[in-house]
Structure 1
Amino acid sequence: MEKKNWVRLDNASNIFLAARTDVDTKVFRFTAHMSEKVDPASLQKALIKVYEGYPLFQNVMRRGIFWYYLEHTEKIPYVQPETMPPCTAIYHYDRKELLFRVIYNENRIHIEVFHALTDGTGAMWFFEDLITEYTRLRHPEAFGENSERTPRQKQDLEDSFNRYFRKKKKKRENVPTREPFEEAYKEADNIEKSLQPYEEQTQYSNVHRVKGTITPDHRPRIIEMTTQVKDVLALSKKHKVSLTLYLTAIFMISVYESIEEKKEEDTVTVSIPVNLRQFYPSFSVRNFFSTTLMAYTFKKDQPYNIEDICQEIDKQLKKEIKPEAIEKRLKRFIGFEFHPAVRVVFRPIKDLVLKWVSLYTNRKITVAMSNLGKLSLPEMVEPYVDNINFYTAVVRPQFCVNSYKDKLNILFTSPFIETDIQKRFIRYLSSEGLDIQLDVNKVTREEFQ
């Protein structure tokens, strides 16, 4: 079978393209804090070696008449010293550029990725392989007899929605097919019969929206917080919720307490991505996630406590990650993409519609968070990597969480200069007795002087 040199984007990727702005570039970054200064030559060799094994990354973005699509390219990526602000735009419609970049600065190695290419899991697989190969080149003695690379189990171009949302199980072809999406659309008329009863998510009024002063050159305000993961886990267990929900509850409280003019009721919502690979086993490198919204309504004349907030959002999350809830949300996206009226609409018009959808959705979201969980490297690599963390460009305040070894990394990003919400969050955890290390970037002319 002749190799297919293009891949059509899924619905989520099209939204990233339509919704990107100068502030929210839809770019995210992973950083490895190495134990020694980075050697650019070794990093370049490692990049070429790993890049060869990831066909998805060997693509540029193209604009078709009706949709965007990825087109295979022979371009070779080159490592770059860090000279631009973090998460600077990667995709430009008038250039055929790779959709990721590898950057280095002193002892740090970064990878920045345009979200339309892949999600955090897919990018992390690439980054883990890159750091492993770099360490192999720099310290071959650490690998001993295990000097040969073990290929990662993955499927670069597979669209995992095809596997889980098709009417009949068929033998999967080597080239991704769009037929299951067609079938899913045809089944949409009977969606109520095929799914278990699902109660729609509550529609909230008075959703608070954070406002502030946009940074002068649109670089994100970044606050890196590091503490011991065992200490935060102990606090979350005390409240009988996961670490994700415990930190989310603190963020909600921090947002509410930062509101200067409180209403009778203020609803704080948090957008949380859900990695679908934990519910639908998949080795796809492509985007395979959904999002859900947690909410809590604060009342001006009623006291609140973290226990009540934790229990409320715990109930919400358990409902939203049920298979019937996930399937209903995803089939709606698929139905939109394959609606006959939508398919014949020209791409610029679709861009405007998706941009409007994004703006409308954003009105319901106060802040956001993302948790990639525990990140790890091969045993022989870890001594040469002190820490790994990640963050993303944002349209609203957000924090990203991951652990590495015994460290818990919480990275706040915001399009605003102000840091009141983040300060309240940090003070809360500090008051619980945590030992916290902080690093804050500079965003204003006064701070750089």
Structure 2
Amino acid sequence: MFEQKRAYWRSLDNAAKLFSAASSPKDTRVFRFYCKLKEEVEENALQEALDQTIEKYPVFLSVMRKGLFWHYLEKSELRPIVRTEYKEPCSSLYVRDKKTLLFEVTYYKKRINFEVFHALTDGTGATEFLRELVKNYLHLVHKEELEPVELSDQYLTVKDQEDDSFSRYYDPDFPRKKKKKVKAFQIKKSGKGYEELQVKEATVPVKELLGISREKGVSMSVLLTTAFICAIHEEMSRMQEKKPVILMVPVNLRKIFPSDSMLNFFGYIEPGYQFGEGKDSFEDVLETVKIYFRENLSKEHMAGRMNELIAIEKHKILKWAPLELKNRCIRAGAKMAEQEVTAVLSNMSVVKMPEDYADYIEKFGVYTSTNRTELCICSFKDTLSLSFTSRYDSTNIQRNFYRILTELGVQVTVTEADFPEDAKANYEGKKVLQIFTFCCIAAIVLSMMTDIIISPGVHWSVYVASGCATMWFTMAVGYVKRFNLLKNAAWQLLIMSGICVLWDLGTGWRGWSVNIGIPDICLLIQIVMLIISRIRSLSPREYMIYYVMASVYSMILPFVLLMTGVIRYRTPSVICIGCSFLLMIGLIMFKRKEFKEEMHKKFHVG
């Protein structure tokens, strides 16, 4: 057995860079793969099984961090803890500035849930992890009946698991065809849309569906894609038929380009149909989709699309753009790309388990967070699981889809998605900020009322409003950055410096902000950072970048103010510059290795 050694940190793959930038509370980019057993789940056994599984796939023990140009994944000593299901399915796992694992294992009754942030892995990687987890769990619970088995004859090293196959197969000289941009039909929310993720599930027999697909001379994927397109069309008006119905269908690139990577490695195709031109029957759509799949699933076509996406990532302007600007560009691009797709269909293919183990399993299922309508599919033995997710209150498309399959001769069994009653999204933190915001507004309004009634010529309300605005802004930044106290302190250093100057200007410039305020704030924040690091026992890798930022800022700003003659009282600024310089020199001399590593991580561009 080879020793499992992980990289301390690694760059994100091409797809992960999109997910890390575009994720939001409404579109978390989290998907759930689950296994429903024929018996109740035992928590202690599941925890032990998870500990065993993570030993085989340590690549999952990563946290997301921010650099100057890109996000990156960093090795973590955190360990996953199994717990009962407690929140809305596919809720956020990546919380900015919070150091947390990007996956979670929960259970409810007979169901084992594996949820993962898409920047960490794709459907194939999640499938392998869940298979291993379920196998380990069943062996622990049924040791007497089940022999230990390996799910694969091939042993994957961590290097295999961490392989960035996008970069490995990228060919900058490969000819790329420009795709014509077409705006697709968009499913609109009704006036009373729900915020919660709506999950609708059903099952169909694989043999029945496969038999009908063969009769029509197509694959199951082509048949289901056609049924989905036609189900959407039934909800369209004549005016809406001017735009085509287009589905995004992810494709596992490992079937085209050999790879054992556990990272993202998928492409996509976009089959669709233009209705309203006379030939709108199921057979007409089926033939068009069949031709599209045949022409676009070729190795040459998938390679061209993959190279096109990677070429955008490696463009010099985007590559060297600061992360915050880059994120906004990626989000804008993702929003524009959404206009070219009506819905998503993800086929996770077949999930296989050893025969003895399969006797304890009822089914596997998968679904994902989405801000549109998405259908996820996977099969186990003779059960094909269909899972619709959306944030719309209407279920007409799902109803149409099931009816179409039934008319084709497929038996559809609709199942009720079973979740704990208290599994809801948590908005408590937002409520605190909302209450504070209301209190600030109320204070301003009351001060204005008092001003008008008691002393109309004094305008004390201006000072009250300025003070409330100052408190609110400081509080808002503190709330957003509450998960990382050192980052919060770095932001407060900038904010408090700026506020000091604004108050000095607003009250008749006396220079106290630059002579005393800024130097004292710089020293205070650096002392606070040292205390936080000490109390929380942070490693040099966790505090290094914030010490560097604070010390550089605290040297440069007072120095510039001194050289330009703005400062008249030199003592505080000289002390601030000297102490900040000593902090920086101390980091370089005594933490040289960590200093170089952190600078390399934060400023990497590839």
TM-score computed with the length of structure 2 as normaliser: 0.65
The answer to whether the 8 Å contact 1:11/1:337 transfers is yes
Instruction: Give the aligned partner of residue 176 of structure 1.
Output: none
Instruction: Give the aligned partner of residue 17 of structure 2.
Output: 14
1:362 aligns with 2:338: yes
Instruction: Give the aligned partner of residue 31 of structure 1.
Output: 34
TM-superposition CA deviations, 1:236-293 (whole Å, max 9, x none): 2222111111111111111111124534633100000010000011111000001111
Select the residue among 113, 121, 126 that pairs with 2:124.
Answer: 121
Q: Which residue type is aligned with residue 331 of structure 1?
A: N
TM-superposition CA deviations, 1:351-389 (whole Å, max 9, x none): 001001100000010011011111111122111111111
Select the residue among 94, 97, 105 that pairs with 2:97.
Answer: 94
**Which 10-residue stretch deviates more, 336-345 or 59-68?**
336-345
Change (3 A) 1:216 1:365: closer
The answer to whether the 8 Å contact 1:225/1:409 transfers is yes
Instruction: Give the aligned partner of residue 181 of structure 1.
Output: none
The answer to whether the 8 Å contact 2:6/2:75 transfers is no
Change (3 A) 1:153 1:340: same
How far, CA to CA, are the matches of 1:147 and 1:321 in structure 2?
A: 35
The 5 Å alignment of 1:352-391 reads: 352-391=328-367
How far is the alpha carbon of 1:84 from its aligned partner?
0.6
Change (3 A) 1:105 1:214: farther
Of Structure 1 and Structure 2, which has the larger fraction of its residues in strand?
1
How far, CA to CA, are the matches of 2:181 and 2:287 in structure 1?
A: 19
How far, CA to CA, are the matches of 1:269 and 1:89 in structure 2?
A: 28
Q: Which residue type is aligned with residue 274 of structure 2?
A: T
How far, CA to CA, are the matches of 2:191 and 2:382 in structure 1?
A: 35
How far, CA to CA, are the matches of 1:345 and 1:148 in structure 2?
A: 46
Instruction: Give the aligned partner of residue 75 of structure 1.
Output: 78
Instruction: Give the aligned partner of residue 133 of structure 1.
Output: 136
Instruction: Give the aligned partner of residue 437 of structure 1.
Output: 413
Instruction: Give the aligned partner of residue 234 of structure 1.
Output: 211
How far, CA to CA, are the matches of 1:349 and 1:388 in structure 2?
A: 40
Q: Which residue type is aligned with residue 327 of structure 2?
A: D
Structure 1, unpaired ranges of 5+: 166-183
Change (3 A) 1:209 1:150: closer
The answer to whether the 8 Å contact 2:193/2:392 transfers is no
Instruction: Give the aligned partner of residue 64 of structure 1.
Output: 67
How far is the alpha carbon of 1:143 from its aligned partner?
2.5
How far, CA to CA, are the matches of 1:381 and 1:214 in structure 2?
A: 48
**Which 10-residue stretch deviates more, 419-428 or 311-320?**
311-320
Aligned Cα root-mean-square deviation (Å): 2.4
Q: Which residue type is aligned with residue 393 of structure 1?
A: S
Change (3 A) 1:264 1:398: closer
How far, CA to CA, are the matches of 2:149 and 2:303 in structure 1?
A: 43
Structure 2, unpaired ranges of 5+: 425-606
Q: In terms of Rg, which structure is larger? A: 2
Percentage identity across aligned positions?
32
Q: Which residue type is aligned with residue 221 of structure 1?
A: Q
Select the residue among 46, 50, 56 that pairs with 2:53.
Answer: 50
How far is the alpha carbon of 1:52 from its aligned partner?
1.4
Q: Which residue type is aligned with residue 328 of structure 2?
A: L
How far, CA to CA, are the matches of 2:259 and 2:192 in structure 1?
A: 39
TM-score computed with the length of structure 1 as normaliser: 0.87
TM-superposition CA deviations, 1:289-346 (whole Å, max 9, x none): 01111110001x6241122212212222222222222222222222222222222211
Select the residue among 256, 264, 286 that pairs with 1:279.
Answer: 256
Instruction: Give the aligned partner of residue 326 of structure 1.
Output: 302
Select the residue among 230, 246, 256 that pairs with 2:233.
Answer: 256
The answer to whether the 8 Å contact 1:55/1:157 transfers is no
Secondary structure of the residue that 2:144 maps to in structure 1? helix
The answer to whether the 8 Å contact 1:79/1:103 transfers is yes
The 5 Å alignment of 1:197-276 reads: 201-205=179-183, 207-213=184-190, 218-260=195-237, 262-263=239-240, 265-276=242-253
Instruction: Give the aligned partner of residue 161 of structure 2.
Output: 156
Change (3 A) 1:147 1:399: closer
TM-superposition CA deviations, 1:153-199 (whole Å, max 9, x none): 4321111134333xxxxxxxxxxxxxxxxxx4xxx4x443xx7xx6x
Q: Which residue type is aligned with residue 415 of structure 2?
A: D
Secondary structure of the residue that 1:69 maps to in structure 2? strand
